[in-house]
Structure 1
Amino acid sequence: MNTRTGKAERRTDKALSHDKFTVLCDTLHLGITGTDGIVVKFDGSYSGIIAQVRLIILSSFVITLLVAVLIFCTIRILLYQQKLSEFRENFVRHMVHEIKNPIVYLKRVLELSARDKEDKLLHTAYHKIDHINLLTEKLLTTSSNKLVIRKQEVDIRAVLENIRASYPDTTLHTEIAQDIPTFRADPVHYGNALRNLVDNAVKYAPEIKRILIRCEVENGYISVSVRDWGMGIPLEFQPLIFERYFRVPPKKSVDVSGFGLGLSYVKMVAEAHGGDISFMSVYRQGSEFTIRIPYDDR
């Protein structure tokens, strides 16, 4: 196009020769001389482009709004679940404290009565009260996810002898190394943890209940192993057994009473003492659980 006359000299919709053209621009100094110029014309209209952009912007706004609504709903659900969990923990904590008061009283009465009389029923009732106390302690500890330990000198032989007396109908063999010293641990929680392992072994043992308890010093740790020849744990459920409220389905195990809190409680006790718990289990052949805590921790 001639920029002076405004007339088109040639059009690009026709075949162009190999001639060289020059462009004259009024606004940009392109270093082009002569009187020829170029006019660029878009086939599409600006309104079509704006309509397409408007659709994209509208879609983005709708998606952003949906994401914001989903985030808001998720936050509300999480806050509601947190309040519900706190309410449940507070309810369980108060309920357990109310239950423990009469348990402590009954335990004291039975202890005094059994001390004066050689009555097997009184001794059995005393140990059953101990078992109830263990259940309430597990429920209180695992529901609040907190464990406060108070360490004292512990004689493992006395602890295991007390546990053995709780199961008069079970053959409990103990193998205790001669060089085991007294060590510091929480006598209540540590004793309850060992009792829980023995209790599980008794529950899942066959009709002829045979349990082996081994105790030894191992690299600065007191190691207590509880072995049974019972049902064992299927391999697919073994990674879950320390989770709270988890229980192996009855079809794969023995249908016994419980809440699925025992092993999670034992793990909390072991870790609170600076130790750990491990196990080996073969389905339909038995299990062995080992709890270790440092004996020289002062």
Structure 2
Amino acid sequence: MTQAPMITLNDGIQIPQLGLGVWQLDDAQAHASSKAALQAGYRHIDTAMIYGNETGVGRAIAESELPRNEIFITTKLWNADHGFDQTLRAFDASLKRLGLQTLDLFLIHWPLPIKNAYLDSWKAMVRLRDEGRVRSIGVSNFHQEHLQRVIGETGVTPSVNQIEIHPDFTQAPLVDFSRRHGIATESWSPLGQGGALLDEPVLTRIAARLGKSTVQVILRWHVQSGHIVIPRSTNAERIAANIDVFDFRLDAEDLRQIANIVQTGRLGPDPDTFDLGA
């Protein structure tokens, strides 16, 4: 059974570097995948209110024999709940669905600049952290200007920025900004979307040489890039294979070749304009 190494966030909280994502899984699938992941050595599960599967994740936690403090759980504030009081209420609702007394990481899912309320939401999250109800607070899909605003106006730096990253959309300037400010970068859609990256010649050649799958090479690239990474799967064998990436390394030439993969750009929504659920 493999376990991921820990990354220490800027608030001193430790997070497993590789976890299970449950985006686009229904409640029953999230329950089954979370149970399989915990059995395979995962200690980090990432969900969100909008996924509609916090209850399933919570059931898997409750059914696990692991101590609560060995499982790191993330959920996210949805767009319709931006605002100070709304954030507090949404947090309570998520915690109830998860069946937890405290949360490990709470993220603002999208900045939603059209609503211009993410700063108030961030202030509410600071309160939740100060009250000990959540251990760490961060954001998701924030651009540099959004990060600068919350840091500048509250003095509290997010611990994590969870953003779309894969080898053909590396977001290097944003990752560099976050690194300089002590913000950990977490990758969603780490394998891209639609499976195109799995046939990328650079990645398939490296995988063949190492005797690993292309998926494992991509996940190893994330790990060596310093990212927190949350691949999703409903297949127990693939869930186990996805965490089995700590017994090999990509060498300098591998990394150089991956860095030269043509950037295809963003596959998901643009954080500056995305307003679903506002």
TM-score by length of 2: 0.21
TM-score by length of 1: 0.20
- Larger Rg belongs to: 1
